[in-house]
Structure formats: C-alpha cells, structure tokens
A and B are shown apart, each in its own frame.
Chain A
Amino acid sequence: MIRTPAIIALSAVACGGKGADENWKYLSGDSLAFAPQKRFRSPKYASKLCASFDMQGNSHRRPLCNWASLSALEDCIKQAPLTPFSKERIGVFAGTSVGNILESENALEDMLDKGDDCAEYKNFLNYECSSLSDAIARKARAEGPRFAVSTACSSSGLALSAACSALLCGDIDSAIVCGADTLSRITVNGFASLELLSKSACKPFDADRDGITLGEAACVMILTRADLAHKFGIKIRAFITSWSCTCDAYHATSPHPDAEGMKRAIGSAIKKSGLPASDIAYYCAHGTGTRANDSAEVAAMVSAWENPPKFSSIKGKFGHTLGASGLLNAIFSCEAIERGELPKNYGFSKRDENLGITPIAENTPFNANNVLTSSFGFGGNNSSLVISKKPTPCLFPEKGPSEIFLDGGGAVHNGAIGVENVLGGIGVNLECDISKLLPELPPIKKRRWAKLQQMALQSVSEALAGYCPDPENSCVSFGTGLGMLECTQRFVANVISKAECEALPTAFTNSVHNAISSSIAIRFAIKGLNCMLSAKELSFECALWQAILEMRSDGIEKAIVGSCDERTPLLSKIRNCALSFADNSIPLSETSAAYLASSTRSPRSFARLKLLNIESCRRDCACEAERIKHLIDNAKIPEISSVFCPFSYNRAQRNYLSSLFKALKLPLCEFYERRFGANYSISALAPILARERGKGFHLSYTKSSTGQRAVSIWEIF
C-alpha cells in the first residue's frame, strides 16, 4: 500500500478572499487587490502598497494571525472531518515568521504611551510563534505533537515538510499544517531598511523588478497518508511525492549568488520523487520580485531542468506573504493540478535578458501529473516539494534509524560557560557576559551576532569539540520559546518611538527566530535542513523530534540539536503577571544547550535516546500513568534509575506529578528549577543532567503551560 502523504483539505484567507475558490478566482482574474495598509499608523510608509486580507468577522478582536488561521481551519474541517483519526495521532505544524507580532507591537505602543500594566503584558506575549500552533490544536482538538517553525519566508515550506516526514515515519496519522503572517511594523520597516520593498507593485521575473510587495495570508492544509485515506474512505486532493529542505550556509539575508542551496533543494526534491525531471511540468516559483531572489531562482531552475518547465509566481497578485508563502504556493499548486490550469505570472511584462527565460504571462491549460514548488527564506533557508495528481511509489527510505545517539554536548547557562561550569554552578548566579563567548573569533566575525546567537554558537562549538560534520549530510534543528526577544523588542520600540525613522537592518535580520539556526549553519557549514522551531517549554523536545524525523526520512547522519532562550528586563516584568511557567518564586534564567546527534553509535557517543513521546497530557493522572507505562514497556526499558522534571509549577501540579510517578513505581522526581531557574529551553539540559547521574536509563518529563508534555528516556553509556 502506498504510504505517500496525501492532501485531503486546504483553505486560505488572503487578499483574494476567503477559501481556495475565491482566491483562485482572484488569482486567475485581472483585478489587483494591492492598497496602502491600514493595520497600524505608519507615518513613513503610509502610501506603500500591501496585500491585506479582509478582517471583517473578527468580532472578538482576536490576534489577527490566529483568527484568520482558525477561519481557514474551519473551512478545512468541513472538507475533511478529523473524526477518523485518534486525537493523539493528529499533529499540528505551523509556519510563521512573526506570528501575531502586530498585537505585541500594539501592546508595546500602549506601554510607551500610557505606561505598562498586566493586560498589555499579556498582549505582548502574542509574540510567541507557538501561540498559532496552540490555537489550531485547541480548535481542532488535536492532541499529538505540535510546534511552530519560524524560518522567515520558508517557514510553512518547512512546516509542511516536517508534517510529511512525520506521516511517512508513522509518528502521526494526520497533520494540520498552517502557514500565516500578517503585516506588522517590524516587517514593513525591516524590509524597507534592507531596501527590499518595491516602489510600486512587485513584478516577479520582470526586467524592471525592484523588490517585494508585502502581503498577508493564513493557509491551512490537512494531510494524512494515502493508505490511511483509503482505509477511512477519505477523498485525496493530491499527493506530496517528495520534499527537501536545504541551507545555503552563506549569508543572513542574501541567497547564495550561484543559488547553491536552491539548486540542492530543487534537485533533491526531483531526485527523491523518482520521476524524470521532464515529468514535472510546472514550477510554482517563490518569485519574490527582488533582483537577487529571482535571478538566483532562475539559475537553480536552469540547473535542475535541461528545459525548465512552465513557471510563474503568484506574488504579483498576493504579494509576499512571508511565512505563509510556502503553503500558499502549495495550495495553488494543488488547485492548478485539480483545475487543469496554470496561473499567469501577474506583474510580468518585460523580458529580462539576464534571466534568459520568462514566466507564463497568460493563464495556461495544464494536463500533467506533477508540479514542483519552492519557498526560500532569510539565512539561505530553502524548501522544495513535488505535488502530484497520481501517486508515485514513495522513494523515501521506509524505516531509517529510530534511535539516535549523542556524541557531544555543550551549554551556556546565565554566566556559566561550558557543561562543566554549568553543572558545577560556576557563574550560574552571574549575568551572561557576551565578551567571554566565542573567544576564538575576532570581533569582525562576531559583529552581527547578538547575545542569544552567541550563546547558541558557544554551546554548539562545545558540542562539536572540533568535529566537522559532512556539510550536506547534516542538519540543524534548534528550538526556542521566544527567539531573539531582545533584538525584536529593541527594533520595535525604536520604530515606534522614532516614528519609523530609525530602522536598522541588522536589528531586523536578527529579529527573526532563525537568525539563530542560520548563524549556526554559516559558522559550522551545515547545509542540510535548517529548522528553528518554537513550542514553549517543549521547544527542545520538538527540535529533537524534528531532527530524528529528518534522519529517518532523509537518511541524514548528523544533526545539531538544541534549544536556547534569553531573558530581558521586559520579560522579567511580564513573567510576574503573564507567564505561566514554573513557580513565580523561581528566578528567570537564560540557557542554550546543544548536542551533536548521530544516527549511528560511535566511540564518542555518551547517550542513546530510547524513547521520545510528545502529546497532550491526560488530565486524569491514572490515564496518564497507564499511557506512560505502555510507552516504557514498548521501548523495553529494563529499569529507570532516575526521573527529573524542569518545573514543579504549583501545588496542584506537584501533586499530580508525584502521584503520577508513584503510580508508575518510578524513583522520586527531582525538579531542577531550584538549580537552574526557569526559561522555555531549560529542558535542553536534560541529557547533560542524565549524564551527570551516570550509567543507566533516565526519564525526563517536561510539561508545557499549554497542556502538552514530553517523555524522553536517555540511556547513558
């Protein structure tokens, strides 16, 4: 039976309307919905054209990104109810570059105007990308693993790929993939500071193209595997035959001039599809309309196909919808196959001789089986997928390694640098001193890295201990609850207080979450998948899961995994009235911990991951105990020597956890919050703590403040 991932529902809210139908009609029509934006006061860019969706119907004034995504989700559930799937087998994969940051900006603006209060703090926290995956899961009652990928403009391309890998590996039965971004002060001012906004409207692949037009979209897709769709009698819209994610490891914002990473993403998606390149008859381009993207993308197309197929970009109509653009492309690729028509490249009129090839200028009848679509993002982050009308046997290895080994670990925690100091408590009570990080590098190399990036790089450097992974056979999967919080806060506060006149490019490029993972890729030349994801307290566990999926589905041998979070003065204030993790008496801390993970055991290996399970925590303690017992029995763990959790939260939670471990007849749970304080990445210290305890099997149990929990069991050699 064919196990290919299959699309069973799709929908989008975008400037063309609500639902795939309305947006397709707009895409193939002649009207253009670009207009000056009205989302926020913008003295400097008041007349800049943008592509906004209609927010009528948002009567409860919910955060815009979540509201539009939930509306698309509702439409999807009408097309394909989730009832055949058990709840804990439904995963949620969101992709967003800035999520609901517009609400955080509004909260910051109010704080600057009127002073701060608790309500504003709560609004500020809409900044968390994982609020999108949490909202989707709550609405869909999905209880499987969930996270939000945030890799700038390729976010939802990576989220969709992660969903496909998870389906293929059999970790879930159904995936809800969401891609959403709205206009915000940070993106408008940020892209303007990089001179990337078009003076009028974007003209992808045109000789006179001069930049992007920003757009908004919220897209949702529901997937399952072909065999399950047949079993449950669910209609399949299209198949995702292959997917591939790569990283240029070259520059923070510019694509590699020879399109090196794009070529690998497109080339490898074609190769994994098992189809001759000539069978892929349409390319739904990223086509942003910047000089650099479009010429690099054409170079990649020309290298992948002897005769490139018909191609077009939808951005002339929808603008660049940033983190949503990968999924929006996938939706229209699927629609094009179903409708037998290719959408014209709106905005193109003049052939660029330097490009040598031109997109389709008219809607064109289409009767072929396969299309390829791409999305590319900051940090040289590339994603390509082949979408097909008919299934082709999946060429991905059916079963890769299901266990992974850790070959090295590194950590920075507050002022403690290095695992030895972190465990020894040396510097733990001090502030992190950035001048002590990365002493091996000259200032010119470090100039653009803010504190959190340097903490992450320091921990990765320790984990690698001089080892250089094979660039194309390794990946980066890093977690973060709040990402580059300090840079983002500073950029937004600057833009608000200085009437948009002082937006600095570095501050903008550093504000995206994947500024962290891409600096790791650039520093250590890691050219496979480069994923940065956010899942509150479970960010590390989700990053670990993503790395395992990449190893199993793609045969990748090494992964750099870890998680990092920083503290800022604002976060400390917010924490007291709006953040729910840990007990409020526990001080806020900052941590980066990283590991070199390997698919095979080597003499360097110190640990083996025996079990990783991420699900919603069962409210009833007895049910949860039964579930965990089942997992431990299945993993054939002889005896568990220690159990630890990062947070004890409050009395009710403490009671729950102690009854849980008592019911399981496990050793007494140790909480390490007293030792390490609280932040979203604290559980990334778990493997190091397990090693500290010595040989045996150690169970790490992390619970998030939104009802998810992760159980991991580490075998220490």
Chain B
Amino acid sequence: MERSELISQLKNDVIECLNLAGTSPNDLDENAPLFGDGGLGLDSIDALELVVMLEKKYSLTIEDKSDAKTLFASISSMADSILALKK
C-alpha cells in the first residue's frame, strides 16, 4: 500500500477509533503531534485505544505499550511504523 493511501486510511481509523464523529479526514494534519499541546491533544487512554485498533486492524504488535505515545507521535509516523514492520 502506498504511504499516502495508508495515511488517509489511518485518518479514518483514528476518527472512528477515537469517536471523532463530525471531524473530516481533511481536518487532521498527518504531521501534527497527536499527543500533548499543539496538535490533537490526545492522552494516555487514546494511546491505548490506538494500540488496540492497530493490533486488530494492522496486526501490529507492540511489546511495551507504554512506548506507544512516542512511537505514534503523528499519523505520518504511525504510517511509517506500519510500513517498517510490514517489510
């Protein structure tokens, strides 16, 4: 899968997983930080939700789930992690 295609798919996944009904994929900047200030402002519970989604949908296994927050800094880096693991 192309990186850009994966990114747009991930935007939809994030919207569904985090219950952001009313948000359009275009509203999400793939390079903006997901956590902390200046981006979506997600927190540790969202990180755990995203881990469950990625495990289920992309068969991604994350050994230390507390690392999820740094691993998935943005939607782009999420896509990169998936592509790297698929290689």
Chain A positions within 8 Å of B, measured between CB atoms, are 193-195, 251-254, 435, 442-444, 447-448, 502, 504-506, 509
Contact = CB atoms under 8 A, between A and B. Distances in A.
A195 B52 contact: no
Given A194-B48, A253-B44, A504-B49, 18 more contacts: A194-B45, A195-B48, A195-B66, A251-B43, A254-B44, A435-B21, A435-B22, A442-B22, A442-B23, A443-B20, A444-B23, A444-B40, A444-B41, A502-B52, A502-B56, A505-B52, A506-B49, A509-B45
25 contacts: A193-B48, A193-B52, A194-B48, A195-B48, A195-B65, A252-B45, A253-B45, A254-B44, A435-B21, A443-B19, A443-B20, A443-B21, A443-B23, A444-B23, A444-B41, A447-B18, A447-B19, A448-B19, A502-B52, A502-B56, A504-B49, A505-B49, A506-B45, A506-B49, A509-B45
Contacts, number: 43
Interface residues on B, range: 10 to 19
B20 A444 contact: yes
Contacts of B41: 444
A504 B53 CA distance: 10
A509 B19 CA distance: 15
Interface centre among A251, A502, A505 (most CB of B within 10 A): A505
B50 to A, nearest CB: 10
B66 A505 contact: no
Interface of B: 18-23, 40-41, 43-45, 48-49, 52, 56, 65-66
A650 B60 CA distance: 58
B74 to A, nearest CB: 15
Given A195-B65, A435-B22, A448 B52 contact: no
A506 B22 CA distance: 19
B33 to A, nearest CB: 13
Contacts of B20: 443-444, 447
A504 B52 contact: yes
Nearest to B21: A443
A393 B21 CA distance: 56
Nearest to B15: A443
A106 B19 CA distance: 29
Nearest to B19: A447
Residue with the highest number of chain A CB atoms closer than 10 Å, among B21, B56, B66: B21
Contacts of A505: 45, 48-49, 52
B22 A443 contact: yes
Contacts of A448: 19, 45
Contacts of A502: 52, 56
A506 B48 CA distance: 9
A447 B45 CA distance: 12
Contacts of B43: 251, 254
Contacts of A252: 45
- Choose among B43, B56, B65 the residue with the greatest number of A CB atoms under 10 Å from its CB: B43
B48 to A, nearest CB: 4
A66 B82 CA distance: 49
5 nearest CB pairs, A to B: A443-B22, A505-B48, A443-B20, A447-B19, A443-B23
B72 to A, nearest CB: 15
Contacts of A195: 48, 65-66
A193 B49 CA distance: 9
Contacts of A447: 18-20
Contacts of A509: 45
Contacts of A443: 19-23
A295 B65 CA distance: 20
Contacts of B23: 442-444
Nearest to B52: A504
A448 B44 CA distance: 13
A434 to B, nearest CB: 9
Contacts of B19: 443, 447-448, 506
Nearest to B41: A444
A192 to B, nearest CB: 11
B73 to A, nearest CB: 17
Contacts of A194: 45, 48
A504 B41 CA distance: 20
Nearest to B40: A444
Nearest to B56: A502
B31 to A, nearest CB: 17
A83 B56 CA distance: 60
A195 B49 CA distance: 11
A429 B18 CA distance: 31
A502 B52 CA distance: 8
B26 to A, nearest CB: 14
Nearest to A508: B45
A251 B42 CA distance: 12
Nearest to A193: B48
A252 B49 CA distance: 14
A535 to B, nearest CB: 30
B1 to A, nearest CB: 25
Nearest to A450: B19
A435 B22 CA distance: 9
Contacts of B40: 444
A477 B73 CA distance: 38
A672 B45 CA distance: 42
Contacts of A251: 43
A506 B18 CA distance: 9
A288 to B, nearest CB: 16
A253 B45 CA distance: 8
A195 B21 CA distance: 27
Nearest to B66: A195
Q: Give the interface centre of A443, A447, A448, A502 by most chain B CB atoms within 10 Å.
A: A447
A666 B80 CA distance: 74
A349 to B, nearest CB: 23
A448 B43 CA distance: 11
A506 B52 CA distance: 11
Contacts of A435: 21-22
B4 to A, nearest CB: 24
B63 to A, nearest CB: 12
A494 to B, nearest CB: 12
Contacts of A506: 19, 45, 49
Contacts of A504: 49, 52
A128 B48 CA distance: 29
A502 B48 CA distance: 12
A170 to B, nearest CB: 43
B67 to A, nearest CB: 11
Nearest to A449: B19
A443 B25 CA distance: 13
B65 to A, nearest CB: 5
B32 to A, nearest CB: 12
Contacts of B49: 504-506
A278 to B, nearest CB: 37
A509 B48 CA distance: 12
A47 B48 CA distance: 23
Nearest to B64: A195
